[in-house]
Amino acid sequence: MLHAVGIESSLAWNGRTWSLLVDADAAPTAIEQLLGYEGENRPHRPPPSAEPHDRSAWLGSAAYVVILLVVGFLAGRRAFGHDWFDSGALHAASVRSGELWRAVTALTLHADLGHLLANLGFGAFFGLLAGQLLGPGVTWFCVLLAAVAANLFNSLIHEAGYVSIGASTAVFAALGLLAAYSWRRHSESDSRLAYRWAPLVAGIALLGFMGVGGERTDVLAHLTGFVMGIVAGGLLSLIRRRPGPQVQFILALLATGSVIAAWSAALAMS
Give the pLDDT score at 216.
59
Whether this prediction's pTM lies above 0.85 is answered by: no
Same domain, 28 and 159: no
pLDDT tens for the chain, residues 1 to 270: 677 778 888 888 877 788 888 888 888 888 888 888 777 776 555 555 566 889 999 999 999 999 999 999 999 999 999 999 999 999 999 999 999 999 999 999 999 998 899 999 999 999 999 999 999 999 999 999 999 999 999 999 999 999 999 999 999 999 999 989 988 776 655 455 545 556 667 667 766 666 555 555 688 889 999 999 999 999 998 988 899 999 999 999 999 999 999 999 999 997
Radius of gyration of the chain (CA): 27
Nearest to 102 by CA among 176, 157, 166: 166
Rounded distance, CA 131 to CA 111, Å? 27
Beta strands in the chain (DSSP E): 9-13, 18-22, 90-91, 163-164
**Do 162 and 188 sit in the same domain of this protein?**
yes
Nearest to 258 by CA among 107, 112, 53: 107
pLDDT at 3: 77
Q: What's the pLDDT score for residue 198?
A: 62
Q: Do 99 and 221 reside in the same domain of the chain?
A: yes
Closest CA relative to residue 108, chosen from 137, 88, 80: 88
**How far is Cα 262 from Cα 90, in angstroms, rounded to an integer?**
12
Q: Which domain holds residue 192?
A: 57-269
Return d(Cα 26, Cα 9) in angstroms, integer: 10
d(CA 232, CA 173): 9
Number of structural domains (the chain) is 2
Phi, psi of 9 (to 5 degrees): -150, 165
The answer to whether the CB of 59 falls within 8 A of the CB of 136 is yes
75 and 155 in a single domain? The answer is: yes
Taking alpha carbons only, the member of 111, 184, 107, 109 closest to residue 145 is: 107
Q: Which pLDDT does position 136 carry in this prediction?
A: 97
Tell me, yes or no, whether 10 and 129 share the same domain: no
Do 74 and 186 fall into the same domain? yes
What confidence score (pLDDT) does residue 18 get? 82
Q: Are residues 26 and 74 in the same domain?
A: no
